[in-house]
């Protein structure tokens, strides 16, 4: 009986906190999305250009992807600490760190996607007199786009979690109520903010997954016939 009462009280506390702080949570969610959007907006061009550039040299590709992997192993707090003397505290060092963390999935997927393009398609472009850049733009990138999108999707989901840690150095977003709750031992605040953060990650992953399936359908690839992809297929047809 005591366990039931405890659960009911806990749920009531969570609902009360959510209702009383809904406006603040919405504002923090928007801040979180802004940080992610800025970071991924910078990271995608860098990662895609790098991934495309290394397709001509397998040895260079191995080195670049290895270096990008090394960046992923650096603890976020340590990287933030290294960036603070240069960029100060707040959003700037967090954005720089997020750009660095996102490079591995974007570079790797761009490289793999371009490498997997059917050589016959590339030869057809060459036969039409296309230059290497023209073949990349008009032949290889459209075919590789679903794989590249999968890398962007993975990067965004990773960044949503890492960005929350940025609150430790004064950045905005959903990390603030989590760290404030830890400081104040306010369990309801920690749990609600964590749920909102998790929901954001799941929603973004879902939406980008639908975009990825859309790109695969556009390329004539077979996909899982889930409801979202059936809806996408209906739009295309």
Q: For 121-165, what is each residue's pLDDT tens digit?
A: 777 878 777 777 778 887 888 888 999 999 999 999 999 999 999
* CA pair distance 187, 9, nearest whole angstrom: 12
**Is pLDDT at 112 greater than 90 in this prediction?**
yes
216 pLDDT above the threshold of 80? yes
Query: Which pLDDT tens digit goes with each residue over 25-81?
Result: 999 999 999 999 999 999 999 999 999 999 888 899 999 999 999 999 999 999 999
Specify the long-range contacts of residues 199-208, CB closer than 8 Å, at least 24 apart: 200/29, 200/32, 200/33, 200/160, 200/174, 201/157, 201/160, 201/161, 204/156, 204/157, 204/160, 205/153, 205/156, 205/157, 208/149, 208/152, 208/153, 208/156
* Separation between Cα atoms, residue 189 and residue 175, nearest integer Å: 11
Is the pLDDT score of 104 beyond 80? yes
> Distances from the Cα of 133 to the Cαs of 95, 146, 200, in angstroms?
30, 19, 37
Length of the chain: 237
Judge whether residue 201 has pLDDT over 90.
Answer: yes
- Per-residue DSSP letter, 166: G
Of 196, 208, 186, 153, nearest in space to 31 by CA: 196
Instruction: Kindly tell me if the per-residue pLDDT of 3 is higher than 80.
Output: no
Reported confidence tier of residue 225, pLDDT bands at 50, 70, 90:
low
Q: What is the pLDDT of residue 110?
A: 95
* pLDDT, averaged across the chain: 88
Poorest-pLDDT segment among 6-15, 34-43, 85-94 = 6-15
Which parts of the chain fold into alpha helices (H)?
2-20, 22-53, 58-73, 76-87, 91-101, 103-115, 119-127, 132-135, 141-165, 175-184, 187-218, 227-236
Q: Is the predicted pLDDT of residue 18 greater than 70, yes or no?
A: yes
Phi, psi torsion values for 225, nearest 5 degrees = -90, 60
- Give the per-residue pLDDT at 190: 92
Sketch out the chain's domains with CATH numbers: 39-236 (1.10.3720.10)
Q: Is 28 exposed, middle or buried (0-12, 13-18, 19+ CB in 10 A)?
A: buried
Based on its alpha-carbon atoms, the radius of gyration of the chain, rounded to whole angstroms, reads 22
Instruction: Output 229 or 182, whichever has higher pLDDT.
Output: 182
Band (pLDDT 50/70/90 cuts) for residue 182 is very high
Q: Are 169 and 179 in contact (CB under 8 A)?
A: no
Residues 6+ apart with CB under 8 A from 18: 25, 192
């Amino acid at each position: 009986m005591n366990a039931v009462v405890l659960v009911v009280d806990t749920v009531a506390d969570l609902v009360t906190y959510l209702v009383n702080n809904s406006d603040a949570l919405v504002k923090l969610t928007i801040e979180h999305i802004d940080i992610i959007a800025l970071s991924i907006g910078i990271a995608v061009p860098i990662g895609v250009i790098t991934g495309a550039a290394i397709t001509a040299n397998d040895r260079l590709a191995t080195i670049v992807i290895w270096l990008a992997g090394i960046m992923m192993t650096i603890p976020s707090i340590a990287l933030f600490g290294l960036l603070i003397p240069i960029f100060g505290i707040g959003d700037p060092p967090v954005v720089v760190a997020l750009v660095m963390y996102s490079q591995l999935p974007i570079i790797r997927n761009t490289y793999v996607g371009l490498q997997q393009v059917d050589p016959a398609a590339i030869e057809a472009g060459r036969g039409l007199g296309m230059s290497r850049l023209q073949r990349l733009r008009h032949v290889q990138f459209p075919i590789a786009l679903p794989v590249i999108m999968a890398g962007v999707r993975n990067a965004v989901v990773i960044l949503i979690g890492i960005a929350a840690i940025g609150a430790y150095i004064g950045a905005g977003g959903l990390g603030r109520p989590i760290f404030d709750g830890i400081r104040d031992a306010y369990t309801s605040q920690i749990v609600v903010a964590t749920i909102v953060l998790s929901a954001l990650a799941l929603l973004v992953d879902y939406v980008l997954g639908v975009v990825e399936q859309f790109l695969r359908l556009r390329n004539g690839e077979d996909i899982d016939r889930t409801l979202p992809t059936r809806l996408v297929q209906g739009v295309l047809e």
